[in-house]
Homo-oligomer: A and B are copies of this chain.
Amino acid sequence: MTSSPESACAIGVDLGGTKIETALVNANGDIAEKRRTPTEAKQGPDHVVAIIASMVRTHYLRDARHPVGTIGVGVAGQVDPVTGVVRRAPNLDWLDFPFRERLEAALGLPVAVLNDVQAIAYGECRRGVGQGIKDLVCLFAGTGVGGGVVIGGELVRGVSGNAGEIGHMTIEQDGIPCTCGNRGCLETFVGGWAIALRAQKRAAAEPHTALLRLAGGKAAGITAKLVGQAAAQGDALARALVEETGAALGVGLAAIANALNPELLILGGGIVEGLPGLVEIAERELRRRALAAALKPLRVVRSKLGADAGVIGAALFARETRGRKIAGVAP
């Protein structure tokens, strides 16, 4: 059975360093079926291609009720927007791997490859909290801080596929070193690793905090997650840490609001979900700092699709850019 591109499903893949998530996504962006398997990145990129191809073949391509037209993959790394080559994916240990070419060869279907947070942003824009909005920015804070930018309804990929790295905007010129080699990046305040680092230092000097007790008395055991838990219990140190984190996040959001004047800022990720009141503190600081003209139409919201945003976004991106590619080619 064949089908028109309009009715065909797309497969969305979220390829991370530890797990691969796949989903069959229909034209409305609804997930018909979702699966997960370990990445086994240590066995090399060709093995990962084989895992994805096998999952797709076994679970999605044999179902005549849901014909598949295309596959979109969000990769935790930097993807060349023209060739689909994964330039650098530290969590996968990939360097200049021709991922799109290999996956297309393995499956005989058109594949689109993009950065994983760009896929999340696209998903939120097309089917999530940003539906119908033309200009929006997503910021996802987990261990690191990533983002995605949508302008005029289109995903901004950047000339080398790197657009949306808003976690690495400097907000403190001489701040602490970041994982990226820069100093004082937004991530050095809001990334999970940075919150933990700050909490560990401060807890060592304040031995009677609930935060330290939650970590079994060992400062080195404090994580950003424990900071969130201690703050929820009313611990003063943890609450101060959340306050600082939110204020720094607001500084970054103000920079984005001024530079791009979006209609919507979407916040998500483990840090946003785990630190109580973070979004409210960040929005307060944003409103204190950004230009009035940029603030008037601006809303700050939480991600709606949650963990599904990536697969939905990757699938819809593949669907929609595939149609465009065909439309752009002379018959």
A173: chain B residues within 8 A (beta carbon): 171-172, 247-248, 251
- Asked whether any CB of chain B lies closer than 8 Å to the CB of A166, the reply is yes
Complex CA gap A173/B259 in Å reads 16
- Asked whether any CB of chain B lies closer than 8 Å to the CB of A53, the reply is no
Complex CA gap A294/B87 in Å reads 12
A260 touches B161 (CB 8 A): no
Partner of A134, one of B135, B159, B248, B296: B159
A260 touches B297 (CB 8 A): no
Number of copies: 2
Partner of A293, one of B160, B251, B289: B160
B258 touches A159 (CB 8 A): no
B291 touches A255 (CB 8 A): no
Interface footprint category on A: 35 or more
Tell me which of A148-156, A200-208, A273-281 binds B: A148-156
Complex CA gap A296/B158 in Å reads 12
Partner of A180, one of B147, B149, B291: B291
- Asked whether any CB of chain B lies closer than 8 Å to the CB of A262, the reply is yes
B289 touches A182 (CB 8 A): yes
- Asked whether any CB of chain B lies closer than 8 Å to the CB of A263, the reply is yes
A166: chain B residues within 8 A (beta carbon): 258-259
Complex CA gap A160/B154 in Å reads 18
A154: chain B residues within 8 A (beta carbon): 151-152
Specify the chain B residue showing the minimal Cβ separation from A183.
B289
- Give the shortest distance, in Å, between A144 (CB) and chain B (any CB): 12
Complex CA gap A163/B173 in Å reads 23
* List of 4 A-B pairs having minimum Cβ-Cβ separation, nearest first: A158-B261, A169-B255, A163-B261, A162-B261
- In the assembled complex, 29 residue pairs joining A and B whose CB atoms fall closer than 8 Å, in A order, are A78-B293, A87-B293, A147-B259, A151-B151, A151-B156, A152-B152, A152-B156, A158-B262, A160-B294, A160-B297, A161-B293, A162-B258, A162-B261, A163-B259, A165-B291, A165-B294, A166-B258, A166-B259, A168-B255, A168-B290, A169-B258, A170-B254, A170-B255, A173-B251, A180-B291, A181-B289, A182-B291, A183-B289, A259-B259
